[in-house]
Amino acid sequence: MSTPPATPALWYRDLISCLQSTLAAALLREGRDPVDALGAHWEFLFKPGDVTSEEFYYPCRYPGDLGRSLAPHHGLSTTWHRPADPGDPLEDVRRALKDGHFPIIAVDNFHLPFRPAYQDVHAAHLIVVYGLDEAAGQAYVSDAMPPAHAGPIPVAALLAAWTSSNPKDVQDAFFSDSAIGGRYLTVTVGDAPETTPAFVREVLTANVAGFEADRDTAGWGGLAGVRDFTMSLAGRARAGDARALEEAYPFGWGMQAQAALHAEFLRACGTRWEVPALREAARLAEHVAHAWTGVRITAAHGRSDPAAAAPDLARHGGRLVAAYEAAVAGLREAAGFL
């Protein structure tokens, strides 16, 4: 490779994780608006025993398919892979790039020179690979999470990060102790509906139905799931279960990001079409995202003494439930104006 490849767009919002930022890169390559795709669907789902200590953890309604679980209306789909030949993991990257795809690879930040955790902290993360120059010993990677990076890194560093065992690290209880093992995602972006008032009404109706469902076979879903999760978290904290508090941080990140992106989606539509009720529903969804901060940060700081943190977790859990309930009522009301 003599000419550096074109740098993919870096897309970032303050409440998202590497999961949304890397999928956004794939969407933007296909000319899609990440807010439309990642912000239309909104749900709550907690799957007991499923949470992994990785920044990109998300409770998949469609097992193994992060893309479809996040954006079921927009033809987004992802598949996890491991290198076909462990002796030559780069072959999978070569093949993907040759086919015009940018693989999203799991990495351990400890080995990436551009990450603040370099040679310091082990943590599972996602980045996009958009070029490979083996003659020069360089891989081109992008990462929109601060400090954003798009450019070459040594292939040796990429391989070390990609194949890391990501050992338990006392500096990071939330994203370490989860082997990376060469995992990577491929992304397909299919047909998507136009964002019209009729489509948004349909989406809002579906989201409300999901939140109000009596039962969810995928896990603790909907408003009932929020209540069960928050009561369980406070209860486990009272019992001194530090693992429950550690899980709340990565699990809550996915839920917080989705609420924030749904809010941005509704606000954009409400502004575009001059529908005040949509903008108000957006604010209520945003309030859910902000209530997640109280739960996540209280849990994170409370790990050393879960029982002491239990009353505050119960308080923030109650606020989170109230925020979801108000937001769902707001969605229902907004749908009536479309």
Partner 1 sequence: MVSGAKTGVPPLSVVTMTTLRPVDLTGHWNNRGISAAAGTGSGGFNVWRNSFPAEYLPPPGAQVEVEGVPFRFGGPDPAGDNIRCAGQYVELPEGRYDWIHLLTAAERRTEDTVALHFAGGEVDFEPLRVSDFWARAHAAFGEAKAFETPVMHYPHHVQPRVEALMWSQRVPVTRRAPLRGLRLPRNVAIHLFAMTLQTAGEPVAERS
In angstroms, how far is the first alpha carbon of the chain from the final one?
52
290 binds partner 1 (CB under 8 A): yes
Q: Is the dihedral of CA 39, 44, 47, 50 positive or negative?
A: positive
171 binds partner 1 (CB under 8 A): yes
125 binds partner 1 (CB under 8 A): no
Q: How far is CA 8 from the centre of its chain?
A: 19
120 binds partner 1 (CB under 8 A): yes
Stretch that binds partner 1, among 8-16, 89-97, 180-188, 230-238 (CB under 8 A): 8-16
Q: Give kind and range of the element (H or E) at residue 258.
A: helix 242-272
Q: How far is the CB of 287 from partner 1 (least distance, A)?
A: 7
236 binds partner 1 (CB under 8 A): no
| Residue of 96, 298, 328, 338 interacting with partner 1 (CB under 8 A) | 298
Q: How far is the CB of 273 from partner 1 (least distance, A)?
A: 23
243 binds partner 1 (CB under 8 A): no
Q: How far is the CB of 259 from partner 1 (least distance, A)?
A: 12
Among residues 31 and 146, whose Cβ is nearest to partner 1? 146
* Closest among 233, 181, 219, 202 to 73, alpha carbons compared: 202
287 binds partner 1 (CB under 8 A): yes
* Closest among 61, 187, 170 to 126, alpha carbons compared: 187
Q: Residue 142 pairs with which residues in a beta bridge?
A: 128, 150
242 binds partner 1 (CB under 8 A): no
Q: Cis before residue 147, ω within 30 degrees of 0?
A: yes
113 binds partner 1 (CB under 8 A): no
| Residue of 65, 228, 312, 325 interacting with partner 1 (CB under 8 A) | 312
Q: Residue 187 pairs with which residues in a beta bridge?
A: 78
* Closest among 298, 303, 309 to 238, alpha carbons compared: 309
* Distance (Å, whole) CA 275 – CA 280: 9
Tokens of 94: 């070569």
Stretch that binds partner 1, among 10-18, 50-58, 84-92, 95-103 (CB under 8 A): 10-18
Among residues 149 and 332, whose Cβ is nearest to partner 1? 149
Q: How far is the CB of 290 from partner 1 (least distance, A)?
A: 5
* Closest among 95, 139, 89 to 114, alpha carbons compared: 139
* Closest among 238, 112, 109 to 171, alpha carbons compared: 109
99 binds partner 1 (CB under 8 A): no
Tokens of 272: 């575009």
262 binds partner 1 (CB under 8 A): no
172 binds partner 1 (CB under 8 A): yes
Among residues 9 and 297, whose Cβ is nearest to partner 1? 297
If you compute the radius of gyration of the chain from its CA atoms, what whole number of angstroms results? 20
Instruction: Work out the burial of residue 198: count CB atoms within 10 Å of its CB; fewer than 13 is exposed, 13-18 middle, 19 or more buried.
Output: exposed
| Residue of 301, 305, 308, 336 interacting with partner 1 (CB under 8 A) | 301
Q: 161: which residues sit within 8 A by CB, 6+ positions away?
A: 107, 108, 109, 110, 111, 112, 180
Contact 132, 153 (CB under 8 A): no
87 binds partner 1 (CB under 8 A): no
| Residue of 41, 111, 125, 296 interacting with partner 1 (CB under 8 A) | 296
- The number of residues that bind partner 1 (CB under 8 A) is 24
| Residue of 8, 11, 15, 321 interacting with partner 1 (CB under 8 A) | 15
User: What residue ranges bind partner 1 (CB under 8 A)?
Assistant: 12, 14-15, 116, 120, 146-148, 171-172, 256, 287, 290-291, 293-294, 296-298, 300-301, 312, 315-316
